[in-house]
Chain A
Amino acid sequence: MAHAYTPGLRVTALTTLRRTRRLPLKGEVLVAAGDQVRRDQIVARTDLPGDIVTLNIVNRLGISAEEIAQYMLKAEGDEVRLGEVIAETRPLIKWFKTQITSEIDGTIENVSSVTGQVMLRKPPAPVEVPAYIDGVVVEVMPEEGVVVETVGAFIQGIFGVGGEQWGTLQMITDSPEQGITPEIIPDQCSGKILVGGGRMTHRAIEAARQAGAVGLIAGGIADGDLRQLLGYDLGVAITGTEDIGLSVIVTEGFGEISMARKTFATLSECDGKDASISGATQIRAGVQRPEIIVPSTEPAATAAAGGHISGMDEGDPLRVIRAPYFGRIGRVVELISELRQVESGATVRVLEVEFEDGERAVVPRANVELIES
């Protein structure tokens, strides 16, 4: 049978997943291998070096840079308090004395006899890494972080904004076609992750945020609504750090588009359960897609270890990801082996697909993705 490799997004009701939780700099790991952890539990922490404040001492004292050491009251490495005198002149008449005080609590980082600058460093800023998912620590990377494992439902989105969040999943549409409008946002959804079918509007996202939701998941979003949400036009799909109060995940793409039935059904089965989500998307080499993880109480032994993508075969479910059939779901009828010319004039590898309504079409293989379980 003809065979092709076209990676797709994973949508599965039960799988074993691992997430690496790593510090940006070396620090301290707070848990041990085998520990049960909760998603909001801090598993590792470190201190980021504090910000720098510069003082041009020589200009303010009216001296030359080489003389700076004679006027300093503090040396490199000394701690200083806000308002503490760090350098001063020593005139014969005390009244003419000029003093320079520290503008922060911190330490003296550097005193330069070349530039006449003094650099003060603020106290370190702590950075803490939470477990993100409920699970078990299966590996500790000393001073760097841990790997947490869980069993549960796993759904990858195609694009998201906003970082990691967790809360209870709540379905707010009855069908994968129904879009998310402000009218269907529940009045009270504090801490909830709301899930709908079709396209979400910017007004609906605003309403969800106002009502306290921490996440919103749907099939599509229009570029215009995304621009309104972010306040700028997103040029490159590297996201996850947006400060927008909630995380937004779309499973299919941009425009008026329904959620794939299987995705909608899998999420519906998780209605009312606790989930961890991340909108972080990075579409470069080392691609990262947004994700929804719903830990289960099922024992790990029954879960299929997913993630092994063998390829595409006839009969496999797929979605077309480019016009003119963009967003349509179907099954592979034939993996045509010879190259075919398509309407654009390009001669490419193609396959024949049968859509859910029975219509058939020949599309470039590059323009479909598997719906993987």
Chain B
Amino acid sequence: MTSDLNVVIATDCGSTTTKAILIERKGDTYRQTFRGEAPTTVEAPFEDVTRGVLNAIQEIEELSGRRILDGERIITPANGEVGVDVYISTSSAGGGLQMMVAGVVQSMTGESAQRCALGAGAIVMDVLAANDGRLPHEKIERIRQLRPDMVLLSGGTDGGTVSHVVEMAEFISAADPRPRFGSGFQLPVIYAGNKDAAEKIEATLGEKTALTLTENLRPVLERENLGPARHVIHDMFLEHVMAQAPGFRKLMSWTGVPILPTPAAVGQIMQTIARRQDINVLGVDIGGATTDVFSVFASDGEPVFNRTVSANLGMSYSISNVLSEAGLEDVMRWIPFELNEADLRDRIKNKMIRPTTIPHTLEELQIEHGVAREALRLAYIQHRELAVGLKGVQAERTLSDVFAQSESGESLIDMMALDLLVGSGGVLSHAPRRSQTAAVMVDAYQPEGVTRLAVDSIFMMPHLGVLASVNEKAATDVFERDCIVHLGTCIAPVYVGKGGMKPGEVCATYELTSAEFTDGSESGQLMVGDLRLLPLPEESEAQLSITPGRDVDVGSGPGQVHKTTIHGGIVGVILDGRGRPLQFAAEPAARVEQLARWYKALHVYGEEA
């Protein structure tokens, strides 16, 4: 199939919208050519997901002139201007995949099980562990209340103690849990713990649940083995969860490869890009209800993929929760005008209850961008906390480790080592100006050193994730050419010494060489507190040579000259001398003036620099 792949139709069935894209081979490369969308039809009055899929595909038929449907059948393979070679799809309709996970020790198998489920594209509703501090009846009550789509039970290394993980199974059995969909069905439970306990787990849960046994996800303390359990989660998702949703059985019979949960597909494309380009990637998808963060960072030479989902950090349904979790002060610090607290609170609540409204005034837009910065920041903090090395491992420590106080469980996310930061989701993809997207991402993530910035223009990553499993080249071609919009590069020297630097001191001296610049180069001194924008178009490159101050690092160590090739973008090159973390003026009026200066430097709201 892969060598003859010329035309692909892909859909992503979201909670509210079904998006279809057409991908065609043009010479040696694959391009996304047409797209269509239609409301998702999982709920009444239609209660058949395929209706929305057909509507979205019909829109593509109308735009492209290609006949894809024969009644309610997708024509395969492609023949001239008729049909497609393969149809692929992802789905997050009906609230996505909601899971509960259980382990024995919270920071060990509990976390491993959580990483496993998140990586498979699930929302983790709760993590139960023998040592989570809850009394047995509280755990049982919690399992009963939550009604997850499925449960992942792990615990114990192979050959270790059996009783703790069996105890967790007994709690699940006592709760007699029911799945969210289909009251007559048994709840799917996946056991991925100590293999010696498998028989007893089967005796405890075999009759009451739809139990599947798979390999231990933490066979020894030093190693996670998340792949087999993730595969079982995907199988269970198709067999038990998707199959219950209206119309999905029909949809599953149409697709050339299995339907993936939307976030799992996004994870696939992130991993493909990181592997093919040998880079560290951090991606975020900020939606109305949730924010997903994906990362692929090298650890001991191996790329490690992590995904987290912050279930109640979003820009519409969950916007009020962002304010509640971040606190009023942290949201207000981004707003470049004086605003009464009660007014801000009412505005945010009104967005919560009318989630489809859009900012009409500039002030409303600036408020939303302030909330977005905080949602992204909080989701990132949660990601850092879970994207860690394995805990409980006795690491070999060198003398330098002792001085550095490094320990097991350290975060894998190193902003200085980050190569590419990709944003997606309405507030980033549909910002009136791309400079707003860049400013929000830089402020929220505060990348260090040299980092390329991009945005997913129309949220095509899920489609490309499934496509990667069919044809990796097609997926990466479209990702590079049509999916992401390169915003530019952020260069942020970071002070690593003790004490601090004062505004006005020289932070770094830089020289950028490119034919795009008048005289072939741009050079200068970046002062502490400065924020500058140098235009460098998309598809263009420049040679950077930057010499940081004595205790300042740009990627090659404190005080060391850093030379690299940087990429342009629709926004350009951002020279960020504000330091990390960003410091805000204490006085409201001074803070407003400070923000105005930052926003003006990047032409965020149309100001002239």
The answer to the question of B581 belonging to the interface, with a C-beta cut-off of 8 Å to chain A, is: no
Q: Quick one: closest B residue to A159, CB to CB?
A: B353
The answer to whether A110 touches B342 (Cβ under 8 A) is no
Assess whether B183 is in contact with A112, with CB atoms less than 8 Å apart: no
Quick check: which of B64-72, B165-173, B559-567, B571-579 contacts chain A, the rest being far away? B165-173
Which B residues are CB-close (under 8 A) to A254? 345-347, 349-350, 353
**Interface residue range, chain A:** 35 or more
Check if B317 sits within 8 Å of A110, measured CB to CB: no
Over the window 321-360 of chain A, the binary record of Cβ atoms lying under 8 Å from chain B Cβ atoms (1 yes, 0 no) is 1111010000000000000001111111000000000000
The answer on a CB contact under 8 Å between A158 and B354 is yes
| Interface residue from A222, A286, A324 paired with B360 (Cβ < 8 Å) | A324
> Cα distance A254–B354 when bound, in Å?
11
* A285–B15 CB distance below 8 A: yes
Docked complex Cα distance between A61 and B361 (Å): 71
CA distance A350 to B347 in the complex (A): 21
Q: A-facing mask of B10-23, CB < 8 A → 1, else 0?
A: 00000110000000
A19 at the interface (CB under 8 A from B): no
Of the listed stretches B106-114, B133-141, B458-466, B499-507, chain A binds B133-141
In the assembly, what is the distance between CA of A286 and CA of B94, in Å? 9
Distance to closest chain A CB from B186 (angstroms) = 14
21 A-B pairs (CB sep. < 8 Å): A52-B175, A53-B137, A112-B170, A115-B163, A115-B166, A223-B345, A223-B348, A236-B312, A255-B346, A255-B350, A285-B15, A322-B350, A322-B358, A323-B347, A323-B361, A324-B361, A326-B350, A344-B358, A344-B362, A345-B606, A346-B430
Instruction: Tell me the complex Cα distance, A304–B345, Å.
Output: 39
Residues of chain B within 8 A (CB-CB) of A119 are 170, 174
Report the Cα distance A159→B360, complex, angstroms: 22
What chain A residues lie within 8 Å of B175 (beta carbons)?
52
Contact of B176 among A49, A54, A159, A343 (CB under 8 A): A49
B26 part of interface (Cβ distance < 8 Å): no
Instruction: Write out the residue numbers on chain B whose beta carbons fall within 8 Å of the beta carbon of A174.
Output: none
User: Is A1 an interface position by the 8 A CB rule?
Assistant: no
A114: interface (CB < 8 Å): yes
A286 to B325, CA, bound (A): 25
A284 within 8 A of partner (CB): yes
Q: Do most interface residues of chain B lie in helix, strand or loop, or is the interface mixed? A: helix
Is A269 close to B, CB under 8 A? no
For residue B343, which residues in chain A have a CB less than 8 angstroms away from its CB? 255
Contact with A along B356-381 (1 / 0, CB 8 A): 11111111110000000000000000
- The answer on a CB contact under 8 Å between A110 and B354 is no
Q: Among the interface residues A110, A223, A284, A286, which one has the most CB atoms of the partner chain B within 10 A? A: A223
**Does A316 sit within 8 A of B, measured CB to CB?**
no
Distance in angstroms between the alpha carbons of A28 and B140 in the assembled complex: 26
Whether A364 sits at the interface, judged by CB under 8 Å, is yes
Q: Determine if A342 and B176 form an interchain contact, defined as CB atoms under 8 angstroms apart.
A: no
Q: Are A366 and B353 interface neighbours, CB within 8 A?
A: no
A110 with B360: CB separation less than 8 A: no
Contacts of A159 in B (CB 8 A): 353
Across the interface, name the chain A residue whose C-beta is closest to B341.
Answer: A224
B557 within 8 A of A: no
Q: Are A224 and B345 in contact, with the CB atoms below 8 A? A: yes
In A22-74, the 8 Å CB interface with B consists of 25-26, 49, 51-54, 65
Does B200 belong to the interface (CB within 8 Å)? yes
Instruction: Determine if A235 and B433 form an interchain contact, defined as CB atoms under 8 angstroms apart.
Output: no
A114 x B364 contact (CB < 8 A): no
B295 within 8 A of A: no
CA distance A367 to B356 in the complex (A): 8
Q: Is the CB of B318 within 8 A of A322?
A: no
- A81 vs B320: C-alpha distance when bound (angstroms): 48
User: From residue 309 to 326 of chain A, which have CB atoms closer than 8 A to chain B?
Assistant: 321-324, 326
A363 interfacial contact with B, CB 8 Å: yes
Minimum C-beta distance from A260 to chain B (A): 14
Output the nearest chain A residue to B94 by Cβ-Cβ distance: A285
Which A residue's beta carbon lies closest to that of B314? A236
Residue A4 is within 8 A (CB to CB) of chain B in the complex: no
Q: Does A234 make an interface contact (CB < 8 A)?
A: yes
Interface positions, chain B 174-219, Cβ under 8 Å from A, are 174-176, 178, 183, 200
A114 touches B162 (CB 8 A): yes
Residues of A within 8 A of B353 (CB): 158-159, 237, 253-254, 281, 283
User: Once the chains are docked, how many angstroms separate the CA of A117 from the CA of B162?
Assistant: 14
Name the A residues within 8 Å of B365 (CB-CB): 344-346
B136 is contacted by which of A49, A54, A114, A343 (Cβ under 8 Å)? A54
Asked if B125 is at the interface (CB within 8 A of a chain A CB), the reply is no
- Pick the contact of A235: B95, B163, B318, B361 (CB < 8 A): B318
CA gap between A343 and B162 in the complex, in Å:
64
Q: Mark each residue of chain A from 80 to 112: 1 if its CB lies under 8 Å from any CB of chain B, else 0.
A: 000000000000000000000000000001101
How far apart are the CA atoms of A78 and B317 in the complex, in Å? 48
Which residue, A25, A109, A233, A364, has most C-beta atoms of chain B within 10 A? A233
Max chain A C-beta neighbours (<10 A), residue from B144, B162, B174, B348 = B174
Closest 4 CB pairs of A and B: A235-B321, A345-B432, A223-B345, A54-B136
Q: Among A25, A322, A345, which residue has its beta carbon within 8 angstroms of that of B433?
A: A345
Bound complex: CA A223 to CA B348 (Å): 9
Determine the distance from Cα of A114 to Cα of B168 in the docked complex, in whole angstroms. Answer: 11
Q: A112-B170, A117-B167 are in contact. Are A323 and B317 (CB under 8 A)?
A: no
Contact of A283 with B355 in the complex, beta carbons under 8 Å: yes
Q: Closest chain B residue to A327 by CB distance?
A: B350
